[in-house]
Structure 1
């Protein structure tokens, strides 16, 4: 359900007070727990520490982020890979293949190198 136009967007006044009159390049990370706050054009260039439930994740506000919420850039869930022993074996084979490919590429790049 969309937010009513008469209510306006949710911009945190405390965040605006903290960034008022400051240079984005000289300020440290501004910590906030307000994930629902919308990024406004005044916030561009500032770094925010957005709380994800465990730690504050650094988010640098850019022009592309204007209109989005701070919480969109601070994931709350950690993705874990699926698979167990089989997945580890597949990753090991892939890693070995990359190593052998890198060795052959470096041997081919160096003229006069001995091939085994």
Structure 2
């Protein structure tokens, strides 16, 4: 699996040949051209009003402010944009809000990819009404 980001000679982050500073100065349409097809299509077809409100919140906040008070959102399908780097989001996983600190390597992914919605199941012993064969629990 190839990655679209890499570190330059000085250890500087680049995404498809552009540094993070260059990406942050670009317009949304220019950044969309660099993203994978699914994310590019969702941006070019127009962001929903909820996603536009999230972008406005991001533009009005600084890194220090979001570290203490993260931006809460239910928008798991929002693509990670260069303006999100360094900010902290609280993304809803269906039960509670999980904190996500956006790193440069997250560009081109969705916010929801970094917050799992399912937990692993740890089964206990068989309960009342279980069949005789399922009541057997091996001794440890």
Q: Which structure would you say has the larger RCO, counting Cα contacts within 8 Å and 6 or more residues apart?
A: 1
- Corresponding residue of 2:34: none
What do the CA deviations read for 1:65-88 (whole angstroms, capped 9, x no partner)? Answer: 0110011011110112467655x9
The worse-fitting range, judged by mean Cα deviation, of 14-23 and 47-56 is 14-23
Q: TM-score, normalised by structure 2?
A: 0.52
C-alpha change, 1:52 and 1:81, in structure 2 (3 Å) is same
Q: Is the 8 A contact 2:39 2:79 kept in 1?
A: no
Which segments of 5 or more consecutive residues in structure 1 lack a partner in the other structure? Answer: 90-116
Q: Please give the secondary structure, in 2, of the residue aligned with 1:17.
A: helix
Q: How far off is 1:23 after superposition? A: 1.5
C-alpha change, 1:25 and 1:32, in structure 2 (3 Å) is same
The worse-fitting range, judged by mean Cα deviation, of 58-67 and 5-14 is 5-14
- Corresponding residue of 1:25: 64
Between the two proteins, the alignment pairs up a number of residues equal to 87
Which segments of 5 or more consecutive residues in structure 2 lack a partner in the other structure? Answer: 1-36, 126-136
Q: Is the 8 A contact 1:25 1:45 kept in 2?
A: no
Q: 2-side partners of 1:66 and 1:4: how far apart?
A: 10
Larger radius of gyration: 1
Q: Please give the secondary structure, in 1, of the residue aligned with 2:112.
A: helix
Find out whether 1:80 has 2:121 as its counterpart. Answer: yes
- Corresponding residue of 1:57: 98
Q: Please give the secondary structure, in 1, of the residue aligned with 2:89.
A: strand
